[in-house]
Amino acid sequence: MNWSETLATSWSAVRSHTLRSLLTVLGILIGIAAVILTVGLGLGTQKDVSAQIDSLGSNLLIVSPGSSTDASGMRGGFGTSTTLTQADAEALTSKVNAPDIAAVAPEKTSSLALEANDTNWTTQVTGTTVSWADVRARDLEYGAFFTQDDVDQAARVVVLGSETATELFGRTNVVGQTVEIDGTAFEIVGVLASAGSDSSSNLDDVAVAPISTVANVLVGGTSASSVSTIYVQAASADQLAAAYQEAQTVLLNRHGITQADAADFTISSQEALVETATSIYQTLTILLTGIAALSLLVGGIGVMNIMLVSVTERTREIGLRKALGAPPWAIRRQFLTEAAILGLAGGVLGALLGALGTFVLPAIIGSSVVLSGAAVAGALAVSIAIGIGFGVYPATRAARLAPIDALRTE
Amino acid sequence: MSGAQATASEPVIQLSGVRKTYRSGAIEFEALRGIDLDIHRGEYVAVMGPSGSGKSTLMNVLGCLDVVTAGSYRLAGADVEELDEGELARIRNREIGFVFQGFNLLPSLSAWRNVELPLVYAGVAKDERRERAALALERVGLGDKLDNKPGELSGGQQQRVAVARALVGEPTMILADEPTGNLDSVSSADVLALFQELHEAGRTIVLITHELEVAEHAGRVVKVRDGLLQHDEAVAA
C-alpha cells in the first residue's frame, strides 16, 4: 500500500465521522490558534512599543527628576521631586562639557484649561525651548514653531496639537487665532502634525509654549524654574553612551553630588525603555505559550482517545485487512496517517482561526497583532507532530491485533 | 490418508501432527490434537464437524491466521509455523483467498474497491487492480455492479463479491468458512454453484461447514471431531 492510497484511506476514515473528527481536533485547533495569536500579539506589542518609543525622537536620553535618597534613607519615587531646573538644561547644551550632546529640550508641563470661542478644553501645556520639535521629532502641519526670540521675550505664543486644535476650533488650520490659557491670551503660531499616542499620553493633545512664558506667566511661584523632564539628544547613536556619561557628570556636578548612586535624577535611554517593555511582554508570552501548550497537550490526548475508539470500532476491518494480507506496518501506518490528518486538520483550522484573530483582535484590544509566517508554519508542524505522537499507541494497538480475534468481533 | 485422491505431485497443503492448545489462565484447551491432512492442487475439500469440534481452529491454521502449537504446516512448499507476522501477512495475501460467513466487505467501499484490497497489499498498480477486480467481478456474474456499495447488493451478491475478492489475487487456495451460513437457500445454491465452477476450472477449494448438503458438493469430505480427523472420504462429485 503506497502513500497516496494510505492517505486516501485515512482521509475517507476521517471524513466518515466528520462531526466526531471536528470535535476531536477542537483542542488542537484552540491550542494552535492560541499559539499564533500569542506570537502575533507578542510581535505586535513589541512593534507598538518600539514605534512608541521611537516616536519620542531618536538617539534620546530622558532625564527625570527623583530617585533620590534623602537624609533619612528614604528613596524618593521616580519623578516625584522637582530637582531639575532650566539651568540644568542650559548646562547640558555646553559644547565643552557635553560635546556629544546635540540638542536639549527641557519640558515643563502643567495641566491647564484652554478656552477659545467659549469652548473649554483642558490639556497638558508644555513649556520648552526651540529645539523641542527636533528632539521630539515632531513636524508642523500648519504655521511654524516658536522662535528663540519668543523664548527670550517670554512671548505669549503657543503651538497646538492637532487634536487640541480640533477640540477647540473644530479644525486644525487655526494659525493666527487666539486661545486663552488659564485666562491669558496666546496667539497660535503653529499646529503639530498628528503623531498618535504613546503608552501614557496622547501626543496630539498638547499645547506647546516657550518655557519662559510657561514658567513666568502660567506657573510662577517657587517652582517656576523647575522642569519635569529634560530630553537630551545625542549627536548620533554611537555617541549615546558618551552623551549619557556627560549628562550624568554635568548634572552631578551642578547638584553637588559626588556619588552616582546618590543622584537625585534618573537618566534613561530609549533602549532601556524598549528592554523593559519587551521583558514584560516576554513574560506574558511565556505564560500564554504555556497555556497554549497545555491546550495542545489536551488536544493530543483527545486525538489519542478518539483513535483508540476508532481502533476498537474498526477491529473487524483491521482483522479483515490483515486476513487479506495487510502486514502490521501497513495497519500502523494507516492509523498513524489518520492521527496525523486529525492533527493537521486541527492545525489548519487553528491557523485559520488565529489568522482571523490577527485581523479582528486589534480592533478589540487596540494593540497590533502580527501574523507570523514562521509561527503558522511551526504551528502546523507541531500539530502534525502531535497527531503522530499521540497516534503511536493506538496505531500500535491496531497493528498488534490478531486477525482471528479481530474477525471474531461482531 | 484413506480415500485421498492419488496425485503424483506434492500436496499444496500438508499438515502433520498439528496440535493447537489455547490457554486461558490456568485452563488449557486442546482444540487440535494431532491432525494429519494433505490437500492437492485442484481438490475441492469440505471440512465438516459440529461446533466445538475444532474445525474453526483448523480453518484459522489453514488460513495462516493462527500458528500451530506443535506439528508442521506446509503451504505451497513453505513452512508456515516459523514465520513472523509480516511473512504470514504475505502468505495470506499471495496463497489464500478468504470467503467468510459474514461476507466481511467494507461497507464504505464500492464492490470493485472491496475486490481490489488483496492487490493493494500485494503492491499492484492501480490501473491493473481495477482491471483485475473488474474481471473477477465478471467471473462471479457481477460485471454490472462494479461501483455498487455492499449495502446496495443482496446477501448472495455480497458473498459473490467476497468470492471475487478471494479470486482476484490468483491464490493457491480458496478458504471458505461457512460461506452459505448467512444466505437463503437460493443464494446458497448460487454460491455453491460458483464454487463448483471454480473447482471445475482447476481451483483448490477448502470449504468449512457443518451442513451435510453443503459438504456434499465437495469432491472430498473431511470430518473433524474433538480435535481429531474422524473421517476422510472421496465422494462422487
What whole-number percentage of chain A has pLDDT above 90? 19
Average pLDDT over chain A reads 84
Burial of A47 (0-12, 13-18, 19+ CB in 10 A): middle
Determine the topology of domain B42-65+84-234 in CATH. Answer: Rossmann fold (3.40.50)
Q: What pLDDT score does A198 carry?
A: 59
**Reported pTM:** 0.70
pLDDT band at A68 (very low <50, low <70, confident <90, very high): very low
Q: How big is the CA angle at B152 (ends B149 and B155), to the nearest 5 degrees?
A: 105
CB-based contact A326 B121, cutoff 8 Å? yes
What are residue A153's phi and psi, to 5 degrees?
Answer: -95, 5
pLDDT band at A73 (very low <50, low <70, confident <90, very high): very low
Q: What pLDDT score does A1 carry?
A: 67
pLDDT band at A246 (very low <50, low <70, confident <90, very high): confident
CB-based contact A322 B89, cutoff 8 Å? yes
Which has the minimum average pLDDT: A121-125, A196-200, B40-44? A196-200
Name chain B contacts of A320, Cβ cutoff 8 Å. Answer: 104, 106
Which residues does B124 contact at the CB level (< 8 Å), separation at least 6? Answer: B132
Q: What is the CA radius of gyration of chain B?
A: 17
CA proximity to A317, closest of B84, B163, B150: B150
Q: How big is the CA angle at B189 (ends B187 and B192), to the nearest 5 degrees?
A: 110
What whole-number percentage of chain A has pLDDT above 70? 92
Is residue A184 within 8 A of residue A156, CB to CB? The reply is yes
Q: What pLDDT score does A336 carry?
A: 94
pLDDT band at A71 (very low <50, low <70, confident <90, very high): very low
pLDDT digits (tens, 9 = 90+) for A342-356: 999 999 999 999 999
ipTM of the complex model: 0.88
CB-based contact B85 A317, cutoff 8 Å? no
**Of the candidates B92, B104, B126, which has its C-beta nearest A325's C-beta?**
B92
Name chain A contacts of B106, Cβ cutoff 8 Å. Answer: 317, 320
Q: What pLDDT score does A95 carry?
A: 80
Residue A237 has what DSSP assignment? Answer: G
b/e A359-383 (16+ beta carbons within 10 angstroms → b) = eebbeeeeebbbbbeebbeebbebb
Name chain A contacts of B122, Cβ cutoff 8 Å. Answer: 325
Which has the minimum average pLDDT: A238-252, B115-129, B193-207? A238-252
Name chain B contacts of A5, Cβ cutoff 8 Å. Answer: 120, 126
Q: Check pLDDT > 50 for residue B109.
A: yes
Number of H helices, E strands in chain B: 8, 10
CB of A280 within 8 Å of a chain B CB? The answer is no
CA B162 to chain CA mean position, Å: 11
Q: Chain B: which residues have CB within 8 Å of chain A?
A: 60, 63, 65-66, 85-86, 89-90, 92-94, 98, 100, 102, 104, 106, 108, 117-118, 120-123, 126, 165, 169
pLDDT digits (tens, 9 = 90+) for A167-193: 888 888 888 888 888 888 899 999 988
**Of the candidates A325, A407, A410, which has its C-beta nearest B89's C-beta?**
A325
Q: What pLDDT score does A404 carry?
A: 82
Q: What pLDDT score does B186 carry?
A: 87
Burial of A266 (0-12, 13-18, 19+ CB in 10 A): middle
**Distance between CA atoms of A323 and A349, rounded to whole angstroms?**
37
Torsion angle defined by CA atoms of residues A14, A20, A22 and A26, in that order, rounded to the nearest 10 degrees: -130
**Chain B residue whose CA is closest to A13:** B108
pLDDT band at A233 (very low <50, low <70, confident <90, very high): confident
Residue with cell string 471440512: B47
Burial of B101 (0-12, 13-18, 19+ CB in 10 A): middle
Q: Check pLDDT > 60 for residue B194.
A: yes
CB of A385 within 8 Å of a chain B CB? The answer is no
Q: Check pLDDT > 50 for residue B4.
A: no
Mean pLDDT of all residues in A19-43? 88
CB-based contact B121 A5, cutoff 8 Å? no
Average pLDDT over chain B reads 87
Q: Check pLDDT > 50 for residue B233.
A: yes
Q: What is the DSSP string of A185-230?
A: EEEEEEEEPP--B-SSSBTTSEEEEEHHHIIIIII-SGGGGB-SEE
Q: What pLDDT score does A80 carry?
A: 47
Q: Domain locations in chain A? A: 3-52+275-408, 82-263
Kindly state the helix (H) or strand (E) to which residue B86 belongs, with its residue range: helix B85-95
The x, y and z cell numbers of residue B45, run together, are 475439500
Mean pLDDT of all residues in B136-151? 92
Torsion angle defined by CA atoms of residues B42, B47, B48 and B53, in that order, rounded to the nearest 10 degrees: 170
B196 CB-side CA count, 13 A: 11
**Distance between CA atoms of A294 and A301, rounded to whole angstroms?**
11
Kindly state the helix (H) or strand (E) to which residue A294 belongs, with its residue range: helix A270-313
CB-based contact B85 A407, cutoff 8 Å? no
Q: What pLDDT score does A294 carry?
A: 87
Q: Check pLDDT > 90 for residue A341.
A: yes
Q: What pLDDT score does A205 carry?
A: 86
> Which one has a higher pLDDT value, A317 or A90?
A317
pLDDT digits (tens, 9 = 90+) for B31-69: 899 999 999 999 999 999 888 888 888 888 898 888 888
Is residue A202 within 8 A of residue A39, CB to CB? The reply is no
CA proximity to A304, closest of A342, A330, A332, A331: A342
pLDDT digits (tens, 9 = 90+) for A257-307: 888 777 888 888 877 777 777 777 778 778 878 888 888 899 999 999 999
Q: What pLDDT score does A69 carry?
A: 45
**Chain A residue whose CA is closest to B169:** A324
**Distance between CA atoms of A301 and A293, rounded to whole angstroms?**
12
CB-based contact B121 A330, cutoff 8 Å? yes
CB of A7 within 8 Å of a chain B CB? The answer is no
Q: Check pLDDT > 50 for residue A309.
A: yes
Q: Check pLDDT > 90 for residue B190.
A: no
Task: Select the residue from A324, A405, A409 to test the B interface by mutation, using most B Cβ atoms within 10 A.
Answer: A324
